[in-house]
């Protein structure tokens, strides 16, 4: 087919040199777009490599402070913390989540004392604390109870806010929990503590290595399909986001990332609010496996996947590749 505008219009002109490609880039990725998820372990001077996530470890609280300093030096603005609660402290009611001296709270305090300029995002859900591995309280049939769980999550959020958390991130997918947490934070004087709601969290096969990292995989009874979202559904995600925003969420998250780019785009276009994605453990593991097998270049795969999440509409991305990406962006 004849193109009347050719050769007056050659789209390759602006791609012909590196400076021009940079000048015409529509999407920009910087270290400030990254949140680094980290796993906290008991002990001192501890690093525990996670076999299903090559290059990722659990760190004791003292070592976590080193990671915070590394983030600051790399320009990464925020850390997301997840505890590997010791076995003897995991109970059916997840009571350790409410302990002001638990692993999560000690890590928050240590980081905020040593590196206050780095933000700390904390996970609100009971799965790192329950003997059964679910995000909430269960009945005799193993069904996760919404309202009793919500009440515990409120206390967990307050516990983390008192320790110094900057962003409370409820990942449990219980109905109504954002409103309850927002009201409690306001009532306790934590008006500036943000809520990043895991608004569209799918019941995904990509979470496996994370469950290894927090010690919940082998203990999980059944699955999480009664509270996490069906991967078949998109309109339901928009309803979830609308509810969380109405209840007081400052920002919303879509999880996982790459398999749900369409959801990110629809959320951004519908609500025009800050949207974050979690590039989850399975996504990380796939890139690492491809690189180890010689099937792709790690640096290229990481940067392209992060760029795709930003291009889809993300304000930022939670990624285990954050330090690598920040170093690459700093070159």
Please indicate whether residue 255 is annotated as part of the active site: yes
Bridge partners for 319 per DSSP: 279
Token pair of 328 as six digits: 């690459």
CB 212 within 8 A of CB 52: yes
Token pair of 207 as six digits: 């979470």
As a whole number of angstroms, the distance between CA 97 and CA 64 comes to 19
- Does 235 appear as a known binding residue? no
As a whole number of angstroms, the distance between CA 65 and CA 299 comes to 26
Give the sign of the dihedral formed by CA 83, CA 89, CA 91, CA 96. negative
The active-site residue out of 112, 150, 255, 268 is: 255
- Strand locations in the chain (E): 34-41, 47-49, 57-60, 78-83, 119-124, 167-170, 194-201, 251-255, 275-279, 316-319
Please indicate whether residue 201 is annotated as part of the active site: yes
| DSSP code at position 258 | G
Residues in the chain: 331
- From the list 298, 309, 301, the residue with the least C-alpha distance to 254 is 309
- Convert 2-15 to b/e letters by CB count within 10 Å (16 or more is b): eeeeeeeeeeeeee
Strand 78-83 with 119-124, pairing? parallel
As a whole number of angstroms, the distance between CA 219 and CA 167 comes to 28
User: Which residues participate in the annotated binding site for Mg(2+)?
Assistant: 240
Residue numbers annotated as active site: 201, 255
């Amino acid at each position: 087919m004849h193109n009347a505008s050719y050769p007056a219009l050659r789209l390759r002109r602006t791609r012909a040199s590196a400076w021009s490609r940079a000048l015409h880039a529509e999407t920009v990725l910087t270290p400030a777009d990254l949140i680094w998820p980290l796993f906290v372990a008991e002990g001192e001077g501890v690093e525990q490599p996670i076999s299903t996530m090559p290059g990722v470890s659990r760190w004791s609280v003292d070592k976590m402070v080193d990671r915070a300093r590394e983030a600051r030096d790399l320009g990464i603005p925020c850390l997301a913390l997840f505890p590997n609660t010791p076995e003897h402290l995991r109970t059916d009611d997840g009571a350790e989540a409410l302990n002001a001296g638990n692993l999560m709270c000690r890590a928050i305090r240590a980081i905020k004392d040593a590196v206050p300029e780095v933000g700390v995002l904390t996970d609100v859900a009971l799965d790192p604390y329950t003997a059964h591995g679910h995000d909430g309280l269960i009945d005799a049939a193993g069904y996760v109870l919404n309202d009793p769980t919500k009440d515990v999550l409120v206390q967990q959020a307050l516990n983390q806010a008192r320790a110094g958390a900057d962003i409370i991130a409820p990942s449990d997918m219980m109905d109504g929990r954002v409103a309850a947490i927002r009201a409690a934070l306001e009532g306790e004087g934590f008006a500036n503590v943000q809520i990043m709601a895991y608004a569209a969290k799918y019941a995904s096969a990509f979470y496996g290595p994370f469950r290894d990292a927090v010690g919940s995989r082998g203990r999980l009874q059944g699955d999480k399909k009664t509270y996490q979202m069906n991967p078949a559904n998109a309109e339901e995600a928009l309803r979830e986001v609308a509810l969380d925003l109405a209840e007081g969420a400052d920002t919303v998250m879509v999880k996982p990332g790459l398999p749900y780019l369409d959801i990110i785009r629809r959320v951004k276009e519908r609500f025009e609010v800050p949207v974050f994605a979690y590039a989850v453990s399975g996504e990380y593991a796939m890139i690492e496996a491809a690189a180890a097998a010689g099937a792709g270049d790690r640096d290229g795969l990481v940067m392209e996947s992060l760029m795709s999440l930003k291009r889809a509409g993300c304000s930022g991305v939670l990624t285990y590749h954050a330090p690598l990406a920040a170093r690459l962006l700093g070159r």
